[in-house]
Structure 1
Amino acid sequence: MTDTLFATEPATDLCFGVLGPLALWSAGARETLTAPKLRGLLTLMLLDSVPVPAEQVRFVLDEGERWRDNTGPMHVAVHRLRRWLMQHGGHRLELEPAGYRLTVVGGEVDARRFRHLVTTANDRPDPAERAERLMAALALWRGPVGADAPAAVRQQHAARQLERLRRQATVDLAVTCLDAGLSGQALPLIERAAAEAPYDEQTQSLFALSLAACGLQAEALDVIERTRQTLATELGIDPGHHLRDAQLRILRP
């Protein structure tokens, strides 16, 4: 299947990554933006393609609410970022009635590519094609969204929405691969998701089932037991139906 979405190297000039720490690269070389406030502001702008209200921009930049009624520092930060973006590919940061919008010119944003891959995966009736797109989407992640951004950025609705979409894509990938007999291909991604979500019963259960589908029953049962102990000792709760059902499926001849 020929699809530019699966190109191993970005075909565009300046590309942006927020699925993990902020990453900037151009023609295979890393670009740098060192000012912490500008990095946080750029991450905020890249989380979604919709305009970001000015008060939201100010909230993210004004840690400790030191500016009070002075909007000058916000305008200075926006101006500095706008100038940097223009110098690195002519990307536009413009103020619209609804807020600030970043238009990436001839580049790529991993968050937008991730959303596109997940959305189009749901349209694929063939499980192998659906799994391929989901694997490509999840492979874009390098860590928590906006990992090096201030907490105010990571708590934004768009950031939380991306994390929820990632969890759902992981679940969909695991289920699709289990049904299609492709668990071996997706196992590394599911294992990574399980390592990042030790208290998520559904993710741990699907990781165990994927291990069992690859012939690793002992390792699968170890995941079930380890998760059970983690929930009991650290959260004081009993396992739910996800773990119980997974254990029964693994033990069933």
Structure 2
Amino acid sequence: MTAQNVIHVQGLEKSYKQLQVLRGVDFDVARGSIFALLGSNGAGKTTVVKILSTLLKADAGTASVNGLDVATHPANVRESISLTGQFAAVDEILSGRENLVLVARLRHLKDPGKIADDLLERFSLTDAGARKVSTYSGGMRRRLDIAMSLIGNPPVIFLDEPTTGLDPQARIEVWQAVKELAGRGTTVLLTTQYLDEAEQLADRIAILHEGRIIVNGTLTELKQLLPPAKVEYVEKQPTLEDVFLTLVGANGKNSHDRNAGTDA
């Protein structure tokens, strides 16, 4: 592993009885980048994340995070990572701020209140900080979940299908939060089955299929695998996403609601 690569995976194999899930997986993730592991359900994405986060042992191959072997130094690896699973691990009875304070206290950090307030502001949740999480939208819960995973400033974060089950607007909110993570220097390994998600977020994309990485590169490099596009003049129609966001607005209120009451 070179100094600029934070995650190094080589020859990773994992089987469950007769089912061979990983068949020799290799990839590297550069520091401060977003790396997308793209694949359909059952491709082995979550298995890779579980091995890298020390929740599962590989049958063969090696994997290291922050220069630490996940098999021989699991405790040290866990100190330098954070894992956000497919479902938000938040306490709905508590408020958003109370969730953050609780995690900061569990990690024995100084001034947990300030840590919570800073993260609420960073993830645009300050106005909702005092509300119970049970009142949050799906996007707000996921943003809070990611904020909780950043307590202690881990240099590496694993996001396992972070937008599963979210509506289009909530997905965009999470995308913005993930981009900000990398912008602040956090290394992000993202698993997803959504092509547009990988296209929007990732610096590099690896496609995992039947337990193997079949391609690994930047979006530009992957597009070069296909014949060049033909130049045609067509009428540009708005996408469904354009229509949805125009109607509901960035803050969830449609243009009619925003303009209501302006006529004297």
Q: Give TM-score, length-normalised by structure 1.
A: 0.29
**Structure with the larger helix share:** 1
Q: Which has the higher contact order (CA 8 A, sep 6+)?
A: 2
TM-score by length of 2: 0.28
- Bigger fraction of residues in strand: 2
